A and B are shown apart, each in its own frame.
Chain A
């Protein structure tokens, strides 16, 4: 409907009309303004979290055996973070306790993966040395599990992490047999192979794996092998490093400091 123009611009009616026009214009402009603001926000957000490029990274973990107190918080955190079945026997990470007596005999235990700590040793008599060793997938550079998987459901990422595609795994269990470290299991819910992923969903966002995050003594060190400034690079500079079962030639990327020869 066409509005009659006011003859007198200063009249009350004319003022109301121009105010209405102004508000009308504003209401039209508002969404545009919001859009512009949003675009700016998106740009700002993108700047704070750059696109993740796996080729720029090579992940590994350092474990300082002398620092581990066997509290089992890493085991618990792993189960929480990765929804690992709560019932016993399925572990992406676990802690072993070694007790070597003066006769040279070694006994090892890991009650429920060490998730609730370890029963106290009642007598120290006859014990030569004792220590805890956290274990997990060694994220090998030459992983036998990847080699044997008949369909390629287990694969190594460009940043050096071995992962399992749950939608592709046929459940033949050859990878479980091929792993020298006992790091794999079959998740009874999905009936597919499962293992430590270094908390891939976290590390690709710049966060630490859950087990590293919760370790109260800093026994676990995570980082990028490629970056000299990373905590892991520093760890490997300042410690003598051993890997597990080096004769298997799997080239593990879990580096142990102060590792005892009894550990397999």
Chain B
């Protein structure tokens, strides 16, 4: 009880007695952050596959593997947060069809099984067959098993792989929208909470997801290329930065629309929400999310990327531009994580009596603590490493059919 007693000392104004305990903690911040990265990385992949943005080809497979690595981890923070994780399966067995949360399992399963795994399999099938034919030892067997016995390399079969992959991506785009729009809906549909309750919430979540996903793949692409001592494809990077800029413009506009709309409507909650933003959330919302996480990268990308003018408003040498892109992408990650924090934690820092503010005491240890959250943020990268070893996404690793070679 001691931490709650400490919280009580820092309560400002009046909160309902049961509100002293904050119910959704750091793990629930991690959940929409991770899910957003999945959706964003997938949308990026779809730019190549469906919209034929050829410059982004070097990031196509990396995006898919990134999405998979993060998707595997996505339900873990939720599971760890449950007071009775042993009963979690009841969501599948006896779901309450009126509950938005009950749909999570189905949306997740659809995305993992129908979209992501299938698309990756169709995309890699030809390579898996060729790799297993050339390799020795464990890798040969792993790749052979992953072909699932479909070893036909006739041009008809390979063409089918391509058209199936394209078809799945087309289904995958609305699915990715669904996956993250749905996460926004979980919050946006809580009418009891004026900070969350907004019809814009799913769409704001979606665009921030796209922003975070593109920024993450940009970071991973540059880092992995440098680590492999290869040359970063600046055409690809410029294109990535341009798309990042466009997505950020839409995301920022939506956030501002939400902000102005709330301010203009000035409902009964406006007083307490203004207090919330100017005190408890000042650092995470005004400084981290808005200034450092959105406006600064927006300026950086707007000036140096070719998004607005052919070769950028300010001509910069490749090395500098690369560095600035990486810096902008890193700032965006901080910004989007802050966005998730401001939604999840911010939405619980004021009382539903609209008369007071409380505080969140983050734990270091314990299942909902900082260490577990940090581990859950690192785990997708470790999984991605395994996936990269297993299914190299680099253009030079791609196997070519003998007649094409």
Task: Give residues in A with beta carbon < 8 Å to B.
Answer: 87-91, 94, 96, 106-110, 112-113, 135, 144, 146-152, 168-174, 176-186, 191-192, 248, 264
Contact = CB atoms under 8 A, between A and B. Distances in A.
Contact of B14 (A89, A108, A169, A248): A108
A211 B83 CA distance: 29
Contacts of A180: 191-192, 352
A150 B18 contact: no
Nearest to A183: B18
A74 B101 CA distance: 35
B18 A184 contact: yes
B14 to A, nearest CB: 4
Contacts of A87: 1
A179 B299 CA distance: 42
28 contacts: A88-B4, A89-B20, A109-B14, A110-B17, A135-B16, A148-B99, A151-B87, A151-B96, A152-B95, A169-B87, A170-B83, A170-B90, A171-B83, A171-B87, A172-B81, A174-B99, A174-B101, A178-B192, A181-B16, A182-B17, A182-B18, A182-B351, A184-B18, A186-B83, A191-B84, A192-B84, A248-B191, A248-B192
A168 B18 contact: no
Contacts of A149: 96, 99
A168 B192 contact: no
Interface residues of B, number: 43
B345 to A, nearest CB: 13
A70 to B, nearest CB: 15
Contacts of A177: 23-24, 190, 192-193, 348
Most buried by B among A91, A173, A183: A173
A110 B355 CA distance: 13
Given A152-B94, A192-B84, A179 B102 contact: no
A186 B17 CA distance: 13
Given A151-B90, A151-B95, A177-B193, A182 B16 contact: yes
Nearest to B83: A171
Contact of A151 (B5, B21, B83, B94): B94
A107 B356 CA distance: 10
Given A170-B82, A248-B192, A152 B14 contact: no
A196 B351 CA distance: 20
Q: Which 3 A-B pairs have the closest CB atoms?
A: A171-B83, A182-B16, A191-B83
Q: Is the interface of B mostly helix, strand, loop or mixed?
A: loop
A178 B196 CA distance: 11
Contacts of B83: 169-173, 186, 191-192
A5 B16 CA distance: 90
A107 B84 contact: no
A185 B21 contact: yes
B291 interface: no
Interface in B1-30: 1, 4-5, 8, 14-21, 23-24
Nearest to A110: B17
Contact of A91 (B18, B81, B192, B348): B18
Contacts of B191: 144, 180, 248
B234 interface: no
Contacts of B95: 150-152
B353 interface: yes
B372 interface: no
Contacts of B142: none
B17 to A, nearest CB: 5
Most buried by B among A106, A146, A148, A185: A148
Contacts of B353: 108, 182, 264
A107 B91 contact: no
A108 B23 contact: no
A87 B85 CA distance: 26
B98 interface: yes
A188 to B, nearest CB: 9
A148 B17 contact: no
A168 B17 contact: no
